[in-house]
Structure 1
Amino acid sequence: MNTRTASIAGHSVSRIGYGAAQLPRLRDRPNEAAALLRRAIELGVNHIDTAEFYGFGFANTVIRQVLRPEDSVLVVTKVGADPDPGGRLPLRIAQRPEQLRASVEDNLRDLGVEQLAVVNLRRLDTGPGLRAEGDQVVDLEDQLATMIDLREQGKIGAIGLSSVTLDNLRRAIPAGIACVQNAYSLVSRDDEDMLRLCTAEGIAWVPFFPLGGEFPNLPKVTDEPVVHTVAESLNVTAPQIGLAWLLHHAPNILLIPGTGDRAHLEHNMAVGEIAFDTDTLATLDAVESRSNNVAIGGAR
C-alpha cells in the first residue's frame, strides 16, 4: 500500500498532514508557532487542516503568514461552528445557512485567499462532541444547497463533511463530496461501513481523534497492551503505531495529527516509514473496537 500520497479534491497530497487545532497553544509565542508550521512544510506537509475557531482565528492567521505560493499546500477548513471567546466552550455551534456563509467569509478573510480549496461542513450528527439543538438543527439538504451555492460562486473549491452518519453521507454524495472527517481510530471503528463507502467512491477519509481519548470515556489507542508490544518490537512509540495502522488500513486515509511541539511533529512525520508484516497487522486488526459516540453537551 502507498503510505506516502493520496488524493483529496483532485489534489495529490502527502498522507501525513498537519492539523492546526494545537497551534493556538503557542498563541503567546507567535514566532514559535510560525517556525513550527514552517518546519512541518519542510518535512513534507502539503495538507493543513484548520478552522476559524482554532484560537479565535490565530491558527488561520499563522497559516496566512507562513504559507508561500511555491509551497503548494492544500488548506482545508471547516464551518458549522464559530469562535466564542466568552463562552463555556471556546466555540458555539453555527449550523444555519446564513451562519455557514458568514463562516466562509471569516475563513477567507483570515486566510487571506479568494477561494477556500476545501470546506468541511461539520454536521454534529455523530461521534464525540456537541450536538445541535433548537434552531441549530438544520436539514442537511438546506446546508448542502448553501455549500453548493458557495462553490458555484467560487468561494469554495470542494465540499467535505464532518461528524456525519452513513445515511447522511449517502444523501450528500450526489452533491460531490471530497472528504469525510469523523472520529476514528484503531480502538473506535464505528464507521467502518462509511470508510468502505468512501474508499469505493474515491472520497478521502480524514479521521480526527486518530488516537482516541480526547474526551472522558473515550477509548485510547495507548491503553491497548498489544499496541505497546508492537511498538517495542519496532522500536517506535505507541502513538506512532496507532497512526501507522491507519495508513495501512485503507488507501484513502489521510492523517492530520496536531501538535505544538517540534519533536512530536517529527515523530508524527516519521510514521510513514513504519512497515507491518502480515502477522503484526492482523494482530492490530484484532484489537476490540469500542464506541466513540459520546456527546458532551448541546448548543448554546
Structure 2
Amino acid sequence: MPSTITIAQNSAHPLTVNRLGYGTMRLTGPEIWGEPANRPEALQILRTAVESGVNFIDTADYYGEDVTNRLIREALYPYRNDLVICTKVGATRRPDKSWVPFNTPENLRTSIENNLRTLGQEQVQLVHLRLMGHDAVPLDEQLGAMFEMQREGKILHVGLSNVTREELEAGLKLGPIATVENMFSYAQRTTLSHAHGHNPGGEEVLELCEQHNIPLIPFFSLLHALPKQLDKIAEVARKYNVTPAQINLAWLLHHSPWILPIPGTSSLAHFRENMGTKDIQLSAEDMANLE
C-alpha cells in the first residue's frame, strides 16, 4: 500500500503528498456554518495534522462562510513548503444556509480571489470546480474560466468535484484535470440522490481516474454503512482491535493506490484515531471478505 500519491505527475509541477489528508469542513459550526464550537481545539487539530505528517488539507471559502480558510491561515501561516492546500469553487451559501451554484466565469474569479486573500496566498495549488448537478452554466464555460486563471498563475492545478463519469470524460477533453473529489466510502460507492440534488459516487469514476493517473479524493468518507455491510466491516475491525470507521478508511487506502482520503473531524482525539489508519495493513483475505 503506497504511503504517498502524486498529483499532476505528468505536469511540470507535480505535487507528492502523504495518504492521508485532512478535510476541514467539520471544523465549522452546525450545518457547516459559523465558527467552531471549540476554536482552540480546531486550531490545534490543524497544527497537529501538519506535525503528524499531513501535507494535504482540503477547504472551501463557502465552509463557514470563510471559517476554515481563516482557521488554516491562523494556525499554519507561514505555510510549510510541502503543504498543499486544496480549495473548492462553484458554490456559495445563502443566509438560510442553503447551497447554491456560484459558477459563472465572473463568480469563479471572485471565489478564487477570495480564497487567495483569506488563505494569504499568491497562487492556489489545487482548486476543485464543484459541479452542482443542476448547473445552468455549461461545463466548458466553467472550466474555461478555471484554465484561464491557471494560465494567469492564480491556480497551479485544476480538479473537478461531484462529477459523473461522463462529466469527467468531457472535462478531460477540455484540459488537464489533476484530481477528482467525489463522495466515496465503503458503503457509499455510487450516486446518492437526495432532495437537494445528487452526489456521484467514487466508484463511477475510479477506473477512469486510474487510467489517467488522477488521484480520487473521497469526501464524506467516514462510515455510512448498511446493516449487512456493517457486519462485515465490524468483523474485520474486531480482528485488528480498531473501530469500523478506521477499517472504512483502511479499505479506501487498499482499494486503489489512486485514492487519497481526507477524513475530517472537529475532535482532536478522533483525528488521532483516523491517523492510526495508516498502520492497518489489510490482507487480501480481509479485502475479499469486505467485497
> Do they superpose with TM above 0.5?
yes
Corresponding residue of 1:158: 157
**Alignment of structure 1 residues 102-113 onto 2, 5 Å:** 102-113=110-121
How far, CA to CA, are the matches of 1:142 and 1:71 in structure 2?
33
Structure 1 residue 231, shift from structure 2 partner: 0.3
Give me the whole-angstrom Cα distance separating, in 2, the residues matched to 1:13 and 1:88: 33
Q: Indicate the residue corresponding to 1:243 in structure 2.
A: 249
Following TM superposition, by how much is the alpha carbon of 1:197 offset from its aligned partner in structure 2, in angstroms?
A: 1.0
Map of 2:25 onto structure 1? 21
Measured against aligned partners, the alpha-carbon deviations of 1:213-255 in whole angstroms (never above 9, x if no partner) come to 4xxxxx5589611111110111000000000000000001001
* Distance across 2 between alignment mates of 1:79 and 1:93: 9
One-letter identity of the residue aligned with 1:252: W
In structure 2, how many angstroms separate the alpha carbons of the residues matched to 1:69 and 1:18? 15
Q: Offset at 1:163?
A: 0.7
2:38 and 2:255 map into 1 onto residues whose CA distance is: 37
Q: Which runs of 4+ in 1 moved over 6 A?
A: none
- Give ranges in structure 1 of 5+ residues lacking alignment: 126-131, 214-218, 286-300
- What are the residue-to-residue correspondences of 1:1-300 with 2, within 5 Å? 1-2=1-2, 4-9=3-8, 10-25=14-29, 27-67=36-76, 68-70=78-80, 72-84=82-94, 86-89=95-98, 91-125=99-133, 132=134, 136-174=135-173, 175-190=175-190, 191-211=202-222, 213=224, 219=225, 224-285=230-291
**What TM-score results when the alignment is normalised by the length of structure 1?**
0.85
For structure 2, the residue ranges without an aligned partner over 5 or more in a row are 9-13, 30-34, 191-201
Q: TM-score scaled by structure 2? A: 0.87
Offset of 1:23 from its aligned partner? 1.1
Aligned Cα RMSD in Å?
Answer: 1.8
Percent identical: 40
CA contact (8 A) 2:234 2:244 kept: yes
CA distance in 2, matches of 1:282, 1:71: 39
Letter in 2 for 1:183: M
- 106 and 178 in structure 1: CA distance in 2 versus 1, 3 angstrom threshold: same
The one-letter code sitting in structure 2 at the alignment partner of 1:74 is V
Matched residues in 2 for 1:138 and 1:28: separation?
36
Residue 202 of structure 1, CA deviation:
0.8
Q: Distance in 2 between matches of 1:187 and 1:172?
A: 27
Output one character per residue of 1:122-178: Cα deviation in whole Å (capped at 9) or x when no partner: 0123xxxxxx3xxx4111111111001010111111100011111111111141001
Q: For residue 100 of structure 1, give the secondary structure of its aligned residue in structure 2.
A: helix
